[in-house]
Amino acid sequence: MSPARMTLSSMTLTRHIMETQKHFPFATGEFSDLLNHIALAGKIINREVNKAGLTQFLGLTGESNVQGEDVQMLDDWANNVMIRVLSRSQRVCIMASEEVADVIPVPDDLISGRYSVCFDPLDGSSNIDANVSIGTIFSVYRRDDDDGPGTEADVLRPGTEQVAAGYILYGSSSIFVYTAGGGVNGFTLDPSVGEFLLSHPDIQMPEQGRIYSVNEQNYHYWYDHTRRYVDWVKSIDKETKRPYSSRYIGSLVSDFHRNLLYGGIFLYPEDKKDPKRPHGKLRLLYEANPLAFIAEQAGGAASTGTERIMEIDPEYLHQRVPLIIGCAKNVADYEEFVAGTR
Ligand code: AHM
Ligand code: MG
């Protein structure tokens, strides 16, 4: 029986990862073990996110991260959990985090592995204090050889080389969504047994959705093609007699997850707001690539407007890219506005 057909209670994430791995040519058990470590970090972060209001864990640390953004206490803590768990997994040679300026090596006294992992430990963290859903996003690459310590080159790779990607969304219930290149599956955390259980097998995005998610406060800073596209989705459609619905949480992982399940498009395009960040806000390695891999595996697409996200050759760790992601037809529509054919 295919893993996707099993009932909710009998298929744990751990077992699903093991079953799925059987189909990989390079299966050694190390890859499953790595994903299980990521799930463990997710459970630890979930526990703390759930009681953040009780433990005085809310608020800012008073410091800014490499992106110049305020660091939330929980952000910082989640970052350390990811580093600690992955460093001790014996499966990782190098890490890169949205919260850390340089790559993060595995300490010399710990055993290193053949995978490199990029992560955003707590995406959407500016919403923490308001109990809005936030999440951990991750992207996994595999080295061809396992000689020597990992280097920056092991993470500066195009998204097409990812071997797995996913996120853990800490919400009204917490869910682990991942792909290892054979479709997308979602596992809801059952807190009573502490296991992620298969709840969303083989997630497929519809060809086209009717939700658009974008921060419209940026309208005046957008390029003309983005304005025209957003004006268009807000106009009355001849067939449905309705405009698209607008939904914007301001937490990428939550906005993406909703659109993954219901269909739609998320946009954080380039704009003229801040000359220091002409390519929008979101980061290629920690946000765009992993979600692009999931979107494509679910039948959707991810683009800058002119280029497939996963084909971008990263130049530096904290590179930002315009991100247009969602159902294939919606993303193609936007690209036509950029190309000027509409
Ligand atoms: P973060 O990784 O520091 O949390 O920043 C990324 C977040 C995304 O989750 C979200 O889509 C975006 O920033 C919202 O930005 P804005 O407030 O400009 O709409
Ligand atoms: Mg983020």
Centre of ligand 1 to C-alpha 316, Å, is 20
**What class, spelled out in words, does domain 3-200 have in CATH?**
alpha beta
Residue range 211-339, CATH number = 3.40.190.80
Mutating to test ligand 1, I would choose from 282, 283, 324, 325 the residue with most ligand atoms within 8 A of its C-beta, which is 282
CA 122 – ligand 2 centroid, Å:
7
pLDDT given at position 54:
65
Q: Give 202's contacts (C-beta < 8 A, 6+ positions apart).
A: 4, 183, 184, 185
At residue 5, the pLDDT reads 47
Instruction: Return the domain boundaries, the chain.
Output: 3-200, 211-339
pLDDT at 2: 47
Strand segments (E) across the chain: 60-64, 70-72, 92-97, 104-105, 115-123, 134-142, 164-170, 174-179, 184-190, 195-200, 211-213, 245-246, 265-268, 301-303, 323-326
- List per-block mean pLDDT (blocks of 10 residues) for the chain, which spans 342 residues: 51 88 73 94 92 63 64 84 96 96 94 94 86 94 82 96 97 93 95 92 96 97 98 92 94 97 98 91 98 98 98 97 98 97 91
- For ligand 1, atom 15, which residue shows the shortest CA distance? 250
